[in-house]
Chains A and B, each alone.
Chain A
């Protein structure tokens, strides 16, 4: 759950009265843009992406204009711009117009949880405006602080002094930056980054003005809901399937899913974070989803998960692959019964689909669970192999992959014929 850009960032900064550049949304009229250019001499035009998107500047996705004609041209260019970041492609939906802020210095500032210090940590430099990874470590200060007392003025001043920052930036930053801890701490953030904060000399004294905004929220902390952000802000983070599953999210039993390849052919309900890491890695592109349904989900929840997952993915699946290690406390009978009933319901409602079921599992009530699944598959005439926890999980995964390969090479048709599916 990430949020980038000033369209929403300015509203969050207003909550703690942190100064920011003047921002107009996609709805800004020609007159408003003209006024902005008149007032600031120049405007930046930035595409609005949903979710967390970085490195926009480097990709030429920041326009700047000193007249309305150029501004509108840039608006047209960037309104639906596409941006590739790693393996993901993002599509913009709108632009912001942001008044240019003249500045002597650019500051980078962030708060995040450091796994080195195991504490919330401020990262700061007065050499901001560039990617922080590109700077020498000596130019950056990382300051962990006590979460019970929070980020204090002295953390900021000591850090800047240590970096040898110009004296004129220290006081205004000391006055303003600690406010951001309130934003971070009170609204369930995992990361908050302002880069750049431009130190504006207008009025004779430097004022820090946030010109870009990025934050990530903790999904397990309901505090972000207090912000009242519209749900569409995070909508791109989740597919329909993921949203449906997420509605089942409670602390009892995991229900984490991520679509790996919506053209994949193996549906793999996976139990346990470790199994999830291993299974998804070895299945590669064949996996439709990556999931973790461990944590001893009750029957009803598991049955709902199974029904939703089957509804979306079973028709295209060659293999239903139920996989986990030797469960510690997940009741295999309850979870298998829930999935078997889900499968039976799917066949009843939608008709049979050609399928091979591979199971690798151990844990409490294992044989009862496997037996229930076996009886169900026998009734549905679905072929299967079940392995206990004494078969290496990786070998079971390889077996599932081999079944999938055979299915692709004609096995699916054979099963179709055997199951009398027209």
Chain B
């Protein structure tokens, strides 16, 4: 049962001419107008069409409205209510969720006898609902389009009904011309229009039919209206397998058919378009044949095989449509609508080889994008540095993570094992810049860090000394000192960094260690004079500048020196500190690894690093011009790793000791964001309010870290050292790297194991299950095998073996785990865990001093704790900066509902 429409159809079709599909007279109601999709798309359609939406519906949303540039579109609870308000319309666009579509269509048909077109955008409508909607519309003489379509658009009438054909800027794609498009794919409706423009063809009416099982407005209806439309000279039909919609299609005008989907024969269920699942006679091959038979061609049109007739051509690639259409129209004596716009050749808008050498055919150069995208890309270049999305960073980190299966932690995606191969200074730079410095970078970082390490006469050292004298632990001592390194300490250097950033941020400077013409910046430099140029001469700065120049090339250092000359002033230490850190951080900024605010805060971090190491050496080892016996002028040229060693032990390390110390610091960097030290740092940042990064106090972040270490976290490394001292203090061991020590390690290990076994049994017998454990053996993850290994310990052991570095204490530990097994203390051979490595390296370093009586056990404990602080300072610097960039204000707090009272 259906109303009578166009006579030739056995079902109702109301549209007789394509020009009637989307007209200026159409008045539209949008169902679910305030839904996410509709509220984005409808205003564009409304504005493009000159204001054709009369109202929208949304149950319970009466009184609201959808704002558009042409005024607000009113919203009613129902169609009935809208009509009672006096609105008239003939088109309904449906954005309802699938289960509500059928009812929405029924409502529209029932309430509005003037209804002529219903366009259903919704995807995933059941077939049952689709057939019922069809029946309702057929009975009432309404043309139905969709579901899962993008509606109709008319480039001549400048009207778009339904969905988003042409996207957010329809006029870009819907250019007036002579081609009518019918497409199973909404996206391809627009894409085909864009492609056609490259051959000079515009469009009349575009129909996105959808490709559900039911195509309510099919190709036959389209062709009928197309034949009657004088504006349309040629048609494009894009179709996919499934259904007999295109079977027997005939037109009075030329057509280009594009059939895609041969591979769909392999599908056993729908993927993408629900109706694209073919049966036996309606697959892509069958459809290709229908069209070829109709066109009278014996093949598919390709640029290499341009077969077409006056009736048309078949393509299987949408990129071939423009050319095929031009050829078909040529055969019909017709020329394109306008000059071709652009081309479809490959044009890479963005590209990077990441340093790889690609074969020629793949190494496509970046080309300028078409307008308006080129302007947007240019605007991007003005976006300097990374911009991080702010989110709750409680228990989360963008800086560190621990792999639960390997227990190896990573900092900026570098495992601490790999990090431990780098120097202390390189890791400090890496923690903030996410890139290891070059050799020159390490040199200038050392100058900056060492240059501020001497704390003689400084209040920070006084605070540290006072704290030490009153019995505070190393972390408390350090926190007391770092508290004094407030913003003002680094403000001038940060101002200088900011000035340099402003001068250079939009320049082409990519590598600050290469030559760069900064004439333009020098011209602008006068306005930054206050921040970059000193009125008075500073001998220290002059020497530093000389050192920097001697070490290599820095655009920023050179620029600052030239600016000082130009402005007839002098360069100061703060400016050099800024220039150093800008040199180090510039590439990271340019490659958007770090934010602008991180770059300008670097001098502050630098001062904190120097202070924390500096105050570790007692005041007695610091004078006006020396640190631990080394002249400052000599110190700046040394590795900061060496400086840290001297601060701890008061003497210079040997080459091997320096390496072992570096590895030790690297292993301690991080254990992920869950560790107490990281949590302390993050909490301190969170409390300052990172959403205003300038308010975050860097030194307070470090205090947070320091206050969250202690005798149990950081100080416990001493347990293993104490255990080893106990075992070796009476042995004739002079040096821990002495291969010929003559000590029977196996025997000591077995005695220890037996003793421990007896102790353990005794404790168990008296019911004490909390008996003492041997430190640094066994691990909750690396267990259960016959012989167990902690891969981190294994890594370090092999590293030391390669370097020929022996360690008696580590050997002893390996004897010990075997002895524990033999003595039946353990069921298998325990692993020697990573904490043992830290203990044995440290003990090896201090063993000589200990044996000579220059160091007492408590000194070793203090040194052990301070070593932990140095290493963890690297990781926590990364956490502080990361949380400042990504975190939200007070995001580490726990809601009251999730905490408990234990009374």
Query: Footprint of B on A, CB under 8 Å?
Result: 1, 51-52, 86-88, 113, 115-116, 118-120, 133, 146-148, 185, 188, 190, 218-223, 237, 251-252, 254, 256-258, 260, 270-278, 280-282, 284, 290-292, 294-296, 298, 324-329, 347-348, 352, 359, 362-364, 366-368, 370-371, 374-375, 377-379, 381-396, 399, 402-403, 406, 411, 414-415, 418-419
Contacts and interface: CB of A to CB of B under 8 A. Distances in A.
B98 interface: yes
Interface in B269-288: 269-276, 280, 282
B588 to A, nearest CB: 10
Contacts of B791: none
A35 B317 CA distance: 61
A332 to B, nearest CB: 10
Interface string B131-174: 11011100000000000001000000000000111111000010
B167 A363 contact: yes
A364 B372 CA distance: 12
Contact of A385 (B245, B351, B373): B351
A276 B132 CA distance: 29
Contacts of B591: 378-379
A75 to B, nearest CB: 27
B344 A348 contact: no
Interface in B241-265: 242-245, 247, 260-265
Nearest to A341: B389
A185 B128 contact: yes
Given A382-B354, A383-B354, A391 B347 contact: yes
A185 B135 CA distance: 15
Contacts of B347: 387-388, 390-391
A262 to B, nearest CB: 14
A293 to B, nearest CB: 9
Contact of A326 (B125, B194, B358, B593): B194
10 contacts: A115-B243, A220-B274, A251-B123, A274-B186, A329-B150, A362-B194, A371-B377, A385-B348, A388-B347, A393-B318
Contact of A324 (B187, B266, B280, B357): B187
Interface residues of B, number: 112
B592 interface: yes
Given A148-B135, A258-B271, A328 B166 contact: yes
Given A119-B134, A328-B187, A392-B319, 8 more contacts: A87-B266, A88-B268, A148-B135, A273-B211, A276-B271, A281-B261, A325-B190, A387-B346
Contact of A394 (B98, B274, B282, B317): B317
A160 B383 CA distance: 75
Contacts of B376: 367-368
Interface of B: 1, 11, 36-37, 40-41, 97-98, 122-129, 131-132, 134-136, 150, 163-168, 173, 183-188, 190-191, 194-195, 198, 211, 213-216, 218, 238, 240, 242-245, 247, 260-276, 280, 282, 316-320, 342-359, 361-362, 364, 369-370, 373, 376-377, 380, 383, 386, 401, 413, 434, 591-593
A61 to B, nearest CB: 18
Nearest to B269: A237
Contacts of A116: 244, 247
Contact of A272 (B188, B244, B354, B356): B188
Contact of A147 (B97, B131, B190, B238): B131
Nearest to A116: B244
B124 A220 contact: yes
A256 to B, nearest CB: 5
Contacts of A223: 126, 128
A327 B167 contact: yes
A275 B261 CA distance: 10
B187 A418 contact: no
B270 A256 contact: yes
Contact of A277 (B198, B261, B353): B261
Contact of A221 (B123, B126, B354, B373): B126
Contacts of A296: 37
B98 A281 contact: no
A219 B270 contact: yes
Contacts of B165: 328
Nearest to B41: A329
Contacts of A367: 369, 373, 376-377, 380
A296 B168 CA distance: 13
Given A274-B185, A328-B186, A395-B346, A133 B37 contact: no
Contact of B128 (A218, A389, A395, A396): A218
B242 to A, nearest CB: 8
A406 B350 contact: no
Contact of A190 (B127, B168, B276): B127
* Residue among A118, A188, A295, A419 with the highest chain B CB neighbour number at 10 A: A118
Given A258-B267, A392-B319, A399-B346, A113 B127 contact: yes
Contacts of B269: 1, 219, 237, 258
Contacts of A87: 266
Given A1-B269, A221-B126, A383-B354, A273 B164 contact: no
A387 B345 CA distance: 10
Contacts of A386: 348-351
A280 B98 CA distance: 28
B784 to A, nearest CB: 24
Contacts of A284: 263
A406 B271 contact: no
Nearest to B280: A133
B11 A118 contact: yes
Nearest to B248: A116
Contact of B319 (A276, A384, A385, A394): A394
Contacts of B260: 274, 277-278, 281
A415 B353 CA distance: 10
A220 B350 contact: no
B276 A273 contact: yes
Contacts of B123: 251, 254, 295
Contacts of A113: 127, 131, 213-214
A148 B1 CA distance: 10
A406 B359 contact: yes
A113 B97 CA distance: 23
B187 A393 contact: no
A33 B183 CA distance: 56
B321 to A, nearest CB: 10
Contact of A390 (B98, B245, B342): B342
When A and B form their complex, which 4 residue pairs have the shortest distance between CB atoms, in order from nearest? A274-B185, A221-B126, A292-B272, A325-B191
A88 B245 CA distance: 28
Contacts of A277: 185, 240, 260-261, 264, 272-273, 276
A296 B739 CA distance: 68
A393 B195 CA distance: 10
* Residue among B166, B211, B373 with the highest chain A CB neighbour number at 10 A: B373
Contacts of B131: 113, 119-120, 147
Contacts of A148: 132, 135-136
Contacts of B263: 260, 280-281, 284, 290
A415 B98 CA distance: 46
A328 B349 contact: no
B266 A188 contact: no
* Residue among A270, A290, A381, A390 with the highest chain B CB neighbour number at 10 A: A390
Contacts of B358: 383, 406, 411
A274 B272 CA distance: 8
Contacts of B166: 328
A184 B762 CA distance: 78
Given A281-B261, A367-B376, A392-B319, A188 B128 contact: yes
A326 B271 contact: no
A329 B167 contact: yes
A118 B132 CA distance: 11
B191 A389 contact: yes
A251 B121 CA distance: 11
B533 to A, nearest CB: 35
Given A329-B37, A363-B167, A377-B352, A394 B318 contact: yes
